[in-house]
Structure 1
Amino acid sequence: MNRRVPTYSLYGETAAETPEFWLHAESIASRSQLHDWEISRHRHERLFQILHIRSGEGQALLNDRWHDFGEMTVITVPERHDHGFRFSNDVDGAVMTIMSRRFLSRLPAQPSMTEWLSRPRLAPLPSNQPDSQLVSQMLTRGEKEIMQGSERPSALIESLLSTAIQLLVAVNGANAAAALATKDEQRFAQLNDLIGDGFRSHMPVDAYARRLGVSTTHLNRITRAICGKPVSRMIAERIISEAKRDLVFTSISVQQVATALGFDDQAYFSRFFTRHAGLSPKAYRERERTLMEG
């Protein structure tokens, strides 16, 4: 029997149409001890979370599996992903909740960064990595700055968190690359890079397959197994993601957005965008800007 997963603003507060904050931080103990050190399965609609575990241990429910974690671990959870936690009662750490749209727009729009942040991650901070301690220090400082309750989040907080995440991706990206278990996982990582480099050229799926040395059928089998999507959808989502960014964060016309993304026909681009985003480019721009201003 499928049970609907609740969508919260933080842990137990129902999501509002427009969040009243873009940054929040609290100690893990302050919330979890109220629930017998366990946070049940839930998700967030527009929020990105960073859990910084300095000491203690626990389990994280990510991607429908429970994963053990220990001290010096960072857990990141993007919006719209189910997750839950179990903590030891000696845990020392904090959880920061951030409006996804604002925070992610401050990070480099690189394929490797986008892919890493697109799904929940449990990222240890190995003691043999020189940047691990720096990541922990930056997150701790960011937590304290937020908890001080300044009326507006400062540029310092934005810089601390964005730099910490970039270093975290660098540290764990190297570890993940070394730990890839199969050739198919390697091909999937290569495919993400190829899509990031070539999505504007509208290269067909079979061209990606030839570059990776596999059949189109096998490549689609790989992507469905790893991310639940065919290659064509991955390409379309990359195009739509870039289009949304341009529509919201630039003032260029819809025609210019279409041209920059390799569309010769604005009408075709509008139909493509509407099919995948559920709104026309103009309507999407107006809605998102209204939400941002609200």
Structure 2
Amino acid sequence: MRKIPNYDLYGESARPPWFDAFNFEWIAERSRPNDWHIAAHRHDALLQILYIRSGSGHVVIESEKHAFSPPCVVVLPAQTVHGFVFSPDIDGLVITAAQRALESISKAVSPGLLPVIQRAAVIPVRASTGDDTLMPLFSLLEQEYRGNARGHIAAGMSLMIALFVQVARLSDAAAMPATSAVADRRSGQIKRFRELVATHFREHRAVDFYAEKLGITTAQLSRICRDELGHSPMSLVNQHLIREAQRDLVYSGLTIKQIAHALGFEDAAYFSRYFRKQTGATPKEFQAAAHTDLSLN
């Protein structure tokens, strides 16, 4: 079975998930030695945010290709499968930080930032906004990283929160909910629900299973998911299951039957019908189209 590479930084073995990492690089530093091509990989515990100032190329996020339209910001939360192709004239930077640490700080100061930190996105930026608002923050982040002074991790994480406030505004998320007991509780319930889905999705559990684990009713879980995420709980379970199926179809090298069984389907034919209902294409059709679309040659 061909596995998706898991790195700390691209080309380096993954460190333990508790490792408190903070890193600043200009994109060319790592992409030039790799012929401007960063193959699909993921980071278990690390978030990355890129600022593309000029140049061209694309990012693959899970099974979708997104062309760069500089200036733009790319957010890649931990565990997101991603890869890049850059043009040799690319001008941009990438910051890597511990996802869990950022989420903990966000919970304390602004829970409304959590969806921005936890969602992969390519966000357009006006040139004036990038130069006047983002670049001063990036410059300070680089200074903290390069200087390696006492407390540079703490300073860097604080600057990252300030940066994500600006990213939230760019993505029309300026109306962040006020810090409150209700907001904190709901944020924690959503996070816990996502963790439960990631653990149990292969078991094809009903919504009441997740509600019971969370200590709430099925109706409460449905209301929280619809209010906070705009989807039903089962829609989120299906999305997770389909995303894992798509990853395996694109990257694993397994047969469709093997993938179906690995995802908890006893019948490969039923898996194909389920996949088609959720995506509009059969697994074989999706796989062929994805391999064509994601060809990096």
Q: TM-score, normalised by structure 2?
A: 0.58
Distance 1:72 1:57 in 2: 10
Distance 1:21 1:197 in 2: 23
Q: Map 1:190-205; keep pairs closer than 5 Å.
A: 196=186, 199=189, 203-205=216-218
For residue 41 of structure 1, report the CA deviation from its aligned partner.
Answer: 0.4
Distance 1:204 1:85 in 2: 43
For residue 45 of structure 1, report the CA deviation from its aligned partner.
Answer: 1.6
Query: 2:87 aligns to what?
Result: 88
The one-character-per-residue Cα deviations of 1:223-249 (angstroms, maximum 9, x if unpaired) are 3455559xxxxxxxxxxxxxxxxxxxx
Size of the aligned set, in residue pairs, is 209
Distance 2:166 2:136 in 1: 12
For residue 212 of structure 1, report the CA deviation from its aligned partner.
Answer: 9.4
Distance 1:43 1:77 in 2: 9
Q: Map 1:54-69; keep pairs closer than 5 Å.
A: 54-69=53-68
Tell me which of 212, 216, 219 is aligned to 1:206.
219
For residue 123 of structure 1, report the CA deviation from its aligned partner.
Answer: 1.7
Distance 2:126 2:218 in 1: 38
Give the aligned residue type for 1:113. L
Comparing 141-150 with 64-73, greater Cα deviation is found at 141-150
Query: 1:159 aligns to what?
Result: 158
Query: 2:119 aligns to what?
Result: 119
For residue 149 of structure 1, report the CA deviation from its aligned partner.
Answer: 3.6
Distance 1:15 1:212 in 2: 32
For residue 78 of structure 1, report the CA deviation from its aligned partner.
Answer: 1.4
Q: 1:114 to 1:104 in 2, by over 3 A?
A: same
Comparing 61-70 with 3-12, greater Cα deviation is found at 61-70
Q: 1:208 to 1:33 in 2, by over 3 A?
A: same
Q: 1:87 to 1:47 in 2, by over 3 A?
A: same
Asked whether the equivalents of residues 43 and 80 of structure 1 are also in contact (C-alpha less than 8 Å), the reply is yes
Q: Map 1:252-271; keep pairs closer than 5 Å.
A: none
For residue 127 of structure 1, report the CA deviation from its aligned partner.
Answer: 4.5
**SS of match in other structure, 1:94:** strand
For residue 205 of structure 1, report the CA deviation from its aligned partner.
Answer: 2.9
**SS of match in other structure, 2:172:** helix
For residue 171 of structure 1, report the CA deviation from its aligned partner.
Answer: 2.0
Give the aligned residue type for 2:100. R
Asked whether the equivalents of residues 194 and 208 of structure 1 are also in contact (C-alpha less than 8 Å), the reply is no
Asked whether the equivalents of residues 63 and 120 of structure 1 are also in contact (C-alpha less than 8 Å), the reply is no
For residue 124 of structure 1, report the CA deviation from its aligned partner.
Answer: 1.7
Distance 1:207 1:19 in 2: 33
For residue 68 of structure 1, report the CA deviation from its aligned partner.
Answer: 1.0
Query: 1:258 aligns to what?
Result: none
Distance 1:67 1:35 in 2: 20
Q: 1:63 to 1:195 in 2, by over 3 A?
A: farther
Q: TM-score, normalised by structure 1?
A: 0.59
Q: Map 1:103-118; keep pairs closer than 5 Å.
A: 103-108=102-107, 112-118=112-118
Q: Map 1:1-294; keep pairs closer than 5 Å.
A: 3-17=2-16, 22-108=21-107, 112-127=112-127, 133-150=132-149, 152-153=151-152, 155-174=154-173, 196=186, 199=189, 203-207=216-220, 209=222, 219-220=232-233, 222-224=235-237, 226-228=239-241
**SS of match in other structure, 1:34:** coil
**SS of match in other structure, 2:50:** strand
Q: 1:92 to 1:38 in 2, by over 3 A?
A: same
Give the aligned residue type for 1:29. A
**SS of match in other structure, 1:173:** coil
Unmatched 5+ stretches in structure 2: 175-182, 191-213, 243-297
Give the aligned residue type for 1:103. L
**SS of match in other structure, 2:105:** coil
Give the aligned residue type for 1:52. Y
Comparing 199-208 with 78-87, greater Cα deviation is found at 199-208
Structure possessing the higher relative contact order (Cα contacts under 8 Å, 6 or more residues apart): 2
Give the aligned residue type for 2:88. N
The one-character-per-residue Cα deviations of 1:1-48 (angstroms, maximum 9, x if unpaired) are x63101011000111337766211111001101111010000112211
For residue 99 of structure 1, report the CA deviation from its aligned partner.
Answer: 1.9
Distance 1:87 1:18 in 2: 28
